[in-house]
């Protein structure tokens, strides 16, 4: 591996100590969302480690193998609007935040990692001033074309000072499913500190470590997700910079996430008891204990063995198998469960993925409508969190004798009759 592609951290990205212990291992995989088009099909796609470490001092769960962001996001094609349910989620998100912190038509809002501007569009509908920050140039261009002013840059303290000088400070700063992707989170926190006005609030959403463990959402641990957040280390990190975590809210996205609300120390919003409630739950569930992750891996391995046994039996009969879900999590599951050799092709509803080829294995991606044409005997639902919606939308496939396999959180076969 070239030094300019991947680096290995030697200290905690939260508290900077060097007391890190590996607690969880996934099989290495290529960059999970690097689906190739036909002209790039010969491109080499090496695999990189996916090992989760736990800081023994602050409790932050993190990857220490960090792929260069320029490499990781150079071919980034994901759009928020393509994810099942996220548009509706962000519409509700905007309304809830507006009410909770008392925003009005004159409020200034910054979204960091704003992607295609879906969330900012909801605030803009309410007459607010919105600006996005998005490092993927094609996505930033797309957002600007939609009328959402978007700066194409990687956010850090230096860029924050530039934004402050040119634009000013903000009543609300948001960041959703992005903070986990950042290596230098301390620079981010410093930048946010510069950009919040005195009564401003920083709100971020990220998948929740406790839900990852409870719901077996192991496939959310991948190269982009450098940090798996939980409340205790988040509280410690922001407190170090005189910022106060005053509330958290559980949301259902990404297999279980938390929405964190942060203000300046001594801010106007009272603590509602939610932070203290979840801190107690984290202690009771022992999410900072090695034994918890040992059981987590053991539970996943049981599902893996069951699935491999079934797919091997199917192939022995000469039958065909497709995978449903051309996503990063799909890549993670395929490589960790070691099922690539059993899959004939993938299907997906995302037009940006159709006609491409999967990372490393180069499996072709077809539209889900091709299930009626190609008639695979079985379809493994790689996007298992959306199994109910996928089965509901593809009942015609079941009617012609097709069978779905849901591999997680428990093995399940769905077929006609």
pLDDT per position as a tens digit, 310-321:
999 999 999 999
* 191-240: pLDDT as tens digits: 999 999 999 999 999 999 999 999 999 999 999 999 999 999 999 999 99
Residue whose C-alpha is closest to residue 146's, from 80, 196, 63: 80
Q: What is the pLDDT of residue 293?
A: 98
Cis peptide bond N-terminal to 409, omega within 30: yes
Low-confidence ranges of the chain (pLDDT < 50): 1-2
What six digits make up the tokens of 17?
A: 């100590």
Q: What is the CA radius of gyration of the chain?
A: 22
Answer whether 109's CB lies under 8 Å from 172's CB. Answer: yes
- Calpha distance 205→45 (Å, rounded): 31
What six digits make up the tokens of 415?
A: 């077929």
310-414 has the same fold as 80-288: yes
Name the residue ranges covered by the structural domains of the chain: 80-288, 310-414
Answer whether 168's CB lies under 8 Å from 108's CB. Answer: yes
Answer whether 27's CB lies under 8 Å from 50's CB. Answer: yes
Burial label for 48, CB within 10 Å (0-12, 13-18, 19+), is buried
C-alpha 216, offset from chain centre = 15
Q: Which residue has the tokens 């999967």?
A: 358
**Does 2.130.10.30 match the CATH number of domain 80-288?**
no
Q: What is the pLDDT of residue 84?
A: 55
**CATH no., domain 310-414:** 3.40.50.720
Give this prediction's pTM: 0.93
Q: What is the pLDDT of residue 1?
A: 40
Q: What is the pLDDT of residue 417?
A: 58
Answer whether 100's CB lies under 8 Å from 274's CB. Answer: no
Strand partners, 324: 347, 381
What six digits make up the tokens of 95?
A: 């309304």
| Dihedral angle computed from the Cα positions of residues 353, 251, 386 and 208, in that order, rounded to the nearest 10 degrees | 80
């Amino acid at each position: 591996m070239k030094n300019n592609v991947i680096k290995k951290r030697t200290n905690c990205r939260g508290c900077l100590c060097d007391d890190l212990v590996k607690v969880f291992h996934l099989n290495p995989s290529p960059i999970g969302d690097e689906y190739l088009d036909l002209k790039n099909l010969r491109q080499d796609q090496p695999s990189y480690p996916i090992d989760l470490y736990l800081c023994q001092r602050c409790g932050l769960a993190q990857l220490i193998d960090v792929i260069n962001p320029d490499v990781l996001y150079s071919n980034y094609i994901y759009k928020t609007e393509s994810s099942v349910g996220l548009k509706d989620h962000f519409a509700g998100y905007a309304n809830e935040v507006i009410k909770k912190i008392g925003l009005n038509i004159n409020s200034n809002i910054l979204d960091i990692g704003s992607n295609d501007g879906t969330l900012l569009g909801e605030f803009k509908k309410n007459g607010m001033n919105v600006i996005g920050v998005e490092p993927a140039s094609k996505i930033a261009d797309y957002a600007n074309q939609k009328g959402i002013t978007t700066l194409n840059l990687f956010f850090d303290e230096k860029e924050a000072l530039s934004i402050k000088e040119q634009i000013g400070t903000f009543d609300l700063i948001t960041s959703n499913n992005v903070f986990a992707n950042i290596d230098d989170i301390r620079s981010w926190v410093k930048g946010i500190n510069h950009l919040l006005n005195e009564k401003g609030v920083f709100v971020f959403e990220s998948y929740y470590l406790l839900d990852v463990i409870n719901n077996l959402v192991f496939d959310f641990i991948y190269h982009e997700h450098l940090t798996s957040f939980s409340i205790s280390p988040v509280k410690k990190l922001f407190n170090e910079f005189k910022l106060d975590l005053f509330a958290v809210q559980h949301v259902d996205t990404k297999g279980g996430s938390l929405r964190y609300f942060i203000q300046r120390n001594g801010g106007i919003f009272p603590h509602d008891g939610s932070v203290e409630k979840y801190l107690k739950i984290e202690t009771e569930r022992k999410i900072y204990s090695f034994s918890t992750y040992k059981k987590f891996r053991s539970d996943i391995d049981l599902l893996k063995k069951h699935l491999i046994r079934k797919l091997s039996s199917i192939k022995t009969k000469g039958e065909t198998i497709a995978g449903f879900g051309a996503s990063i999590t799909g890549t993670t599951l395929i490589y960790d469960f070691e099922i690539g050799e059993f899959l004939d092709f993938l299907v997906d509803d995302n037009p940006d993925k159709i006609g491409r080829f999967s990372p490393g294995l180069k499996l072709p991606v077809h539209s889900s409508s091709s299930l009626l044409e190609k008639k695979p005997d079985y379809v493994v639902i790689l996007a298992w969190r959306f199994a109910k919606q996928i089965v509901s939308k593809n009942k015609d496939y079941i009617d012609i004798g097709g069978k779905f396999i849901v591999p997680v959180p428990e093995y399940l076969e769905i077929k006609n009759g």
